[in-house]
Amino acid sequence: MVDHVITASIILGLAAQIGAAQGRITTLVLGSDITEDLRIVSPTTVFDPDTPKVVCVWKAEGVTPGTRVRSVWIAEDTGGMAPPNFKIDEASSIASTSAKSFDKGGSFNLSRPTHGWPIGRYRVDIYLDQQLAKTARFTIQTKPGAPPPGPRILKAELGTDRSEDGQLENPGTRFAASTPQIVCGWISGYVKPGMAIRGVWIAEDTGGARPANFKINEATAIADASFERAGRSGKFTLHRPGTGWMPGRYRLEIYLGELLAQTVPFTIEAAPAAAAQAAARITQAELGTGRTEDWKVINPMKEFPAGTQRVVCVWRSQGLKPGTVVRDVWIAEDPAPGRPANRKVAEGSSARYTHGAFSLTSSSSKGLRAGRYRLEIYFGDDLAETVSFTVKAD
């Protein structure tokens, strides 16, 4: 027993010596601005979501040269926007040989995310080397009487797939022409139930292969009650065309209702010359209400009146090998009572490979249901073309 007491005393003595050698943090003050002489302007621990930055000023005592002062910013609870006690960022500085001047203190700051701070509880931990020296907690909340934060996209990143736990595979903004699909994982906040979250994929510049700013595809998610809190996630996916992407600049636009909330640019890189292949592609995909015997569209349009019974697409291809099956898949993008968004309403195929026509016919005397649709044309199992259209309401 005596040996244990002596050992414990030695350990405690060493710890005291180490603590004395490192010094201590005497004060830690938070605010949104700082003066040149390291004073916080209007100290506070409560900030609104649009605060440009949160600043902490610390003062130390007895810090020895070479000691690292480190700040770690933690989101303790943001209502699901991030995992509990999520580390946002950290920074550090090291005491120089003039340690007394270092005792005067210093500052660290954390800048506001692009679309504002998520409401919740936060803290900043200050370490001297590896020892936690002091903690200051703060809250992000709306001002009394202020309206709640507006709907926003808090995060949007691209990759080649997304796992069930929300992690992106191969994240980045540059993709090869052979990439099977491009996935955008996004996180929204404060979106009201019923609001449409819409992703629009745009080919900005493909060297003339498509018109500039050509809309490739779009998809829509309808918010339910869970979207009102920060941190509700989802994804938009764009599949590779049959013979690979056309090299160039692209972007994904994310809309909340009719408001453009976020733009995510990306690039498709050209395939190496040795891997380049003759491009099999759709050269024409035009919609209307019918076709002539010589394969011309009757009443070409992309917005069809209420009561439309039939939509016809006349298509032509180039470079397609004989025997390739050309398939049509018709998608209703908007949800209907008891039916989800982006549901398949019809599909078929054609033995023709140079040109042909596909059609979508209503089973109701009232015509096709009002809303947004798209036609996906496949070469075998590869998506070759997408054509979007709308049926107007009464």
Are both 161 and 193 inside the same structural domain?
Answer: yes
Between 83 and 377, the more confident residue is 377
Would 145 be classed as within a structural domain? no
**Are both 243 and 358 inside the same structural domain?**
no
300 and 272 both lie in a single domain: no
| Sign of torsion over alpha carbons 144, 146, 150, 155 | negative
Q: Could you give the number of structural domains in the chain?
A: 3
303 and 273 together in one domain: no
Same domain, 173 and 106: no
Does residue 167 share a domain with residue 91? no
Q: Which pLDDT value is given to residue 337?
A: 82
pLDDT, tens digit (0-9, with 9 covering 90-100), for 289-342: 999 999 999 999 999 999 999 999 999 998 887 878 899 999 999 888 888 888
Q: Mind listing the pLDDT tens digit for each residue in 112-167?
A: 876 678 888 999 999 998 999 999 999 998 777 666 667 888 888 999 988 877 78
Residue range(s) defining the domain that contains residue 393: 280-394
Give the SS3 label for residue 151: coil
* 103 vs 389: which has the higher pLDDT: 389
100 compared with 45, residue with greater pLDDT? 45
**Shared-domain flag, residues 53 and 158:** no
Q: Last residue of some domain: 229, 253, 277?
A: 277
CB 177 within 8 A of CB 269: yes
List the beta bridge partners of residue 19: none
Give 203's pLDDT tier (boundaries 50, 70, 90): very high
In contact, 229 and 269? CB cutoff 8 Å: no
- 318 domain residue, yes or no: yes
In this structure, is residue 6 part of a structural domain? no
Q: Letter for the amino acid at 27?
A: T
Pair 258, 305 in one domain: no
Q: Is residue 10 part of a domain?
A: no
* CATH code: domain of residue 371: 2.60.40.10
Check whether residue 245 and residue 341 sit in a common domain: no
- Listing DSSP states for 47-106 in one string gives E-TT-SEEEEEEEEESPPTTPEEEEEEEEEE-TTSS-TTEEEEEEEEE--S-HHHHTT-E
Query: Has this prediction a pTM greater than 0.85?
Result: no
Tell me, what's the pLDDT at 57? Answer: 93
Residue range 215-241: average pLDDT?
83
Give the strand pairing for 46-47 and 131-140: parallel
Does 194 map to a domain?
Answer: yes
Whether residue 12 is contained in a domain is answered as no
Q: Are residues 227 and 119 part of one domain? A: no
Query: Which residue, of 118, 140, 162, is where some domain finishes?
Result: 140
Domain shared by 240 and 288, yes or no: no
